[in-house]
Amino acid sequence: DTAVSQTPKYLVTQMGNDKSIKCEQNLGHDTMYWYKQDSKKFLKIMFSYNNKELIINETVPNRFSPKSPDKAHLNLHINSLELGDSAVYFCASSQVPKQRGGYTFGSGTRLTVV
């Protein structure tokens, strides 16, 4: 069973389109995240939700809107896609602070905007 699953794995779309990436975790974690990995492999947090409540909202264009229908799901909707949005988007979850270990990441969604 996949702990954190993201769909789709690959997404190729044209500029101006609207797209969504879905994430689900079956670990019972309270907190979920979206990270963006740019072309230089740098990972940066975008959003974090704790029990469906938005708690981290980095400086991200408001074309990006996360939605958490329940604590096991965190989706990312992107409006009016731009070339610069091309990146790998990772969903992650954690149970802080009880979990001494790491955050569990999904396998990533490679978004290509053409």
> Rule CB under 8 A: is residue 31 a binding residue for other proteins?
yes
- Give the burial class of 109: count Cβ atoms within 10 A of its Cβ; 0-12 exposed, 13-18 middle, 19 or more buried: buried
Task: Compute the residue count for the chain.
Answer: 114
d(CA 56, CA 103): 16
> First and final CA of the chain: distance in angstroms?
34
> Rule CB under 8 A: is residue 15 a binding residue for other proteins?
no
> Rule CB under 8 A: is residue 64 a binding residue for other proteins?
no
Among the listed residues 23, 66, 68, 90, the single contact to other proteins using CB under 8 A: 90
Amino acid at 36: K
Among the listed residues 7, 60, 86, 105, the single contact to other proteins using CB under 8 A: 105
Number of residues interacting with other proteins: please give it, by CB under 8 A.
Answer: 29
Residues that bind other proteins (CB under 8 A): 30-31, 33, 35, 40-45, 48, 50, 55-56, 88, 90, 92, 94, 96-97, 100-105, 107-108, 110
